[in-house]
Amino acid sequence: MVVPFVIFPLIMANAVLAKDGWRQVADHDLSVDAGSALDFSALVEPGPAGKNGWAIALPEGHLGFEHRATPQRFLIASMVFTKSNNGGVPDKAGTERLVQQLKRSGYNLVRLHFVDAYLMHDRMKDFDFDPEQFDRLHYLLAQLKAAGIYWIVDGLASDNGAWGNVQPHRWVKKHRAKLDVLTSEKGFRHWATLVERVWGAKNPYTGSVPLQDPAMLGIILVNEGSVGFMATLDGGVYPNVLAPLFQSWLKTRYGTDAALQKAWGRTLEKGESLAASVRMPKTIRGKSPRDADFARFVSELERSAYTKMNEHVRKLGFKGLTTAYDNWPEMGPDISRQALDWVDMHAYHAYPTKMADPGSRIPQTSVHSNSAKFVRGLSSTRQWGKPFTVSEYGQIFWNRFRHESAALVPAFAAHQGFDAICQYGEIPIQVDYGSSPYTRRQAIYPYNIGADPIARAGERLAAVLFLRGDVAASPNHIRVHWDADKVHARSAGWEYMPEELSKLAFISPLGLDFRPIPQAPKSGELWVNLTGSQPWWSVKTEKGPAAGRDLRSDSVAALRDRGIIDSGNLSQPGNRRFQSDTGQFLIDSGAGLIKVNTDRTVALVFNGGNASAGALSIRSASVPVLFAVSSLDGKPITQSRRMLLWALTDAINTGMTFADAERTTLKAIGKFPPQLQTISAVIKVATEHGAELKAWPLSLSGVRREPIPLTRVGDAVELQLDTARMPEGPAVFFEIATK
């Protein structure tokens, strides 16, 4: 007999029942209680940050420190302060509370994004930073450092840089600082002055200059500043400012019109010459000889600009790591990223067209609609031998399936051996659902992690799967070799990793290798040749049993031949099913299923019904859901005396309305409190302590509510969940413990 998880006929007044399977969240206080099941501060090394010296790139390509050369993983909190939308950097008391909550949430690194924009809010003169916000920023840096939380910062994020009198707000398109830093000395000097005055000013609370403080782990010199990306945003046309630079580059490369004519053939138009003018490509994404040379020019321009910016911050005393060009998984930007200290990338599935304005649209598609293309696109840009981080990812509110990424991204990143991940958001911490004068603190907005019960709960799962390392990094490698000049000649860099090849990242870690292909493969490696001398799918460079395999049809056999997977691996690429070489991670897009199965954490993401993996099994789930269970005492789940259970469905705002039944087009964003989609299911957890365990729903701050019954079923405990009938409102977290 199964004892119901919750049997209460009475619905309390503060947990109003909503229509159509939705109920309001009853929680008001969201601050994580110390010592609660949601307190993950033990995952953050005691401060101060920087005590082990500067961050370095280890020989094997991971992040480490000068005085502790072991790989370090980081869970990043994204922070974008805007005075008008979310109140800006809080005062000292608010900052202390924020840092405390960041640590209890398990973050050991923050990314301070768009600092240039919020310091210049409503400022009329160039570089006239808001003194109050600047002082608060310095206090925040000091508090983060003391708590053991490192920083990544942007050298430049806003196209308006530190120019004054930008009206009506800092997000309007007035200047082009990102392009200017690539194309002119004036633009570079503006960037350099901005970096010097923001990050080169002495912090009165630490006594040091941020640029000279090893708590600053890295600098994104210019955020999303690649030429192709900026041209795409400009309607697919390259900016005219590049024309004379391209002309000069052509003169250096060819010297004579005859040499240019030989290279371009008929594509060189009548009247064009090196002495007069040669036009740029009319639009992006062309593949002619003109486009190929323009791509070569852009790669050299971007690498030269990176070198110049990197040298400048080194002169200012920075000894950490630098990066740039952190967007788009195309081969052109990959060539520019060869020059970087570390590679950082951004990737999204489903994002709104107009933020939260009426008429904004967001696709209501699952990641399975394209076999999680945004996730595997990350590994397609990773370069072996360099640290790799993801400073922005997301499956954005109000996409109804965003609980998928809560398990998918951290499990994939851990298996791949990434160094840091960050679910992008303006506000990672929301301390309550109370009233606020700031719009972004009045409702769940896109990119607002702290206010969204689904996104904030997903960050806890990322903390155990990725930061704690419950999902193991694979020791194997798929090395994709290709030649930059041949890529330029073939597609002008406007091509992606072949689709069927990129999917193999779900089986074994995949990345780029620009070096010559070795004579003999190492154990646990598969080489793929994209140099253009042969079809990519033909494994002819291998010596041994994998040689001659066709990766379009024989990829699993090729991986098995190389000793990467064994005969028990469940991967069936033709059916869109992929199991990791470690056996801990499976994505089956044909069945709409994600499984993560480790000793300490198990997660199941599915479309309702039944699913099981390891110590966790689910029956009769009523809606699409993520269920996960994790040990909190360091022991395997079956031996654990304290566990955390997740039940993630969907959340929307009260009063949120849409123009269509699919919830694609927004009419009104609504307001707090959020509403959770309710779910019923039978949950079974294998355990040796079934007779001793009890269960509690948790508030979003981790406070235990009234205990709920568990039933012992053999070597397991079972509970029947119905969040529509919970008297204190629906919950996303549950604690299972012996005391």
The string of pLDDT tens digits covering residues 623-657 is 999 999 999 999 999 999 999 999 999 999 999 99
- In this prediction, residue 537 carries a pLDDT of 86
Least confident residue range of 16-25, 192-201, 211-220, 602-611: 16-25
Which band of pLDDT confidence, cut at 50, 70 and 90, is reported for residue 534? confident
Residue 121 included in any domain: no
Domain termination residue (choose one: 548, 574, 600): 574
Torsion, Cα of 155, 451, 667, 624 (10° steps): 110
Residue 503 included in any domain: yes
- In this prediction, residue 13 carries a pLDDT of 29
- Please provide the average confidence, as pLDDT, over all residues in the chain: 94
Which band of pLDDT confidence, cut at 50, 70 and 90, is reported for residue 19? low
Instruction: With beta carbons less than 8 A apart as the criterion, state whether 630 and 438 touch.
Output: no
- Residues 243-260: what's their mean pLDDT? 97
Instruction: With beta carbons less than 8 A apart as the criterion, state whether 211 and 190 touch.
Output: no
- Which residue type sits at 622? S
Which band of pLDDT confidence, cut at 50, 70 and 90, is reported for residue 544? confident
Longest dimension (CA), the chain: 89
Q: How many angstroms separate the CA atoms of 659 and 552, rounded?
A: 42
- Both 594 and 705 in a single domain? yes
Token digits of residue 439: 């719009």
Query: Is the per-residue pLDDT at 584 higher than 90?
Result: yes
Three-state SS at 395 = strand
Q: To 10 degrees, what angle do helices 484-491 and 289-315 make?
A: 140
Domain termination residue (choose one: 574, 598, 620): 574
Query: Is the per-residue pLDDT at 495 higher than 80?
Result: yes
Residue in the block written with tokens 């199965």: 597
Domain of residue 528: give its range.
Answer: 477-574
- Both 721 and 583 in a single domain? yes
Which band of pLDDT confidence, cut at 50, 70 and 90, is reported for residue 280? very high
List b or e across 391-418, with b for residues whose CB sees 16 or more CB atoms inside 10 angstroms.
bbbbbbbbbbbbbbbbbbbbbbbbbbbb
Token digits of residue 393: 């990812």
Question: What pLDDT digit, counting tens, does each position of 366-397 carry?
Answer: 999 999 999 999 999 999 999 999 999 999 99
- Residues 529-547: what's their mean pLDDT? 77
- Both 596 and 552 in a single domain? no
Residue 487 included in any domain: yes
Q: Where are the alpha helices (DSSP H) in 275-433?
A: 289-315, 331-337, 373-379, 403-416
Query: Is the per-residue pLDDT at 546 higher than 80?
Result: no
Query: Is the per-residue pLDDT at 319 higher than 60?
Result: yes
Residue 534 included in any domain: yes
Question: What pLDDT digit, counting tens, does each position of 213-230 carry?
Answer: 999 999 999 999 999 999
- Both 566 and 587 in a single domain? no
Q: How many angstroms separate the CA atoms of 480 and 579, rounded?
A: 20
Query: Is the per-residue pLDDT at 691 higher than 80?
Result: yes
Residue 120 included in any domain: no
Q: What are phi and psi of 334, to 5 degrees?
A: -60, -35
Facing residues of 645 across strands?
Answer: 629, 734
The CA distances from residue 442 to 102, 169, 402, 414, 433, in Å, are: 21, 21, 21, 34, 8
Residue 637 included in any domain: yes
Q: Are strands 642-648 and 625-631 parallel, antiparallel or unpaired?
A: antiparallel
Query: Is the per-residue pLDDT at 186 higher than 90?
Result: yes
Q: Where are the alpha helices (DSSP H) in 316-441?
A: 331-337, 373-379, 403-416
More confident: 19 or 342? 342
- Residues 346-375: what's their mean pLDDT? 96
- In this prediction, residue 48 carries a pLDDT of 98
Instruction: With beta carbons less than 8 A apart as the criterion, state whether 567 and 586 touch.
Output: no
- Both 492 and 548 in a single domain? yes
Count: domains in the chain: 2
Residue 212 included in any domain: no
Q: To 10 degrees, what angle do helices 185-199 and 289-315 make?
A: 40
- In this prediction, residue 335 carries a pLDDT of 96
Question: What pLDDT digit, counting tens, does each position of 422-449 carry?
Answer: 999 998 999 999 999 999 999 999 999 9
Closest-CA residue to 110 (of 458, 440, 466, 423): 423
- Both 580 and 681 in a single domain? yes
Query: Is the per-residue pLDDT at 5 higher than 70?
Result: no
Domain termination residue (choose one: 574, 593, 625): 574
Q: How many angstroms separate the CA atoms of 518 and 503, rounded?
A: 24
Instruction: With beta carbons less than 8 A apart as the criterion, state whether 112 and 152 touch.
Output: yes
- Both 729 and 581 in a single domain? yes
List b or e across 309-343, with b for residues whose CB sees 16 or more CB atoms inside 10 angstroms.
bbebbeeeebbbbbbbbbbbbbbbbbbbbebbbbb
Instruction: With beta carbons less than 8 A apart as the criterion, state whether 117 and 170 touch.
Output: yes
Residue 226 included in any domain: no
pTM equals 0.95
Which band of pLDDT confidence, cut at 50, 70 and 90, is reported for residue 541? low
- Both 592 and 624 in a single domain? yes
- Both 665 and 724 in a single domain? yes
- Both 686 and 542 in a single domain? no
- In this prediction, residue 251 carries a pLDDT of 97
- Both 551 and 606 in a single domain? no
Three-state SS at 559 = helix
- Both 667 and 562 in a single domain? no
Three-state SS at 236 = coil
- Residues 317-344: what's their mean pLDDT? 96
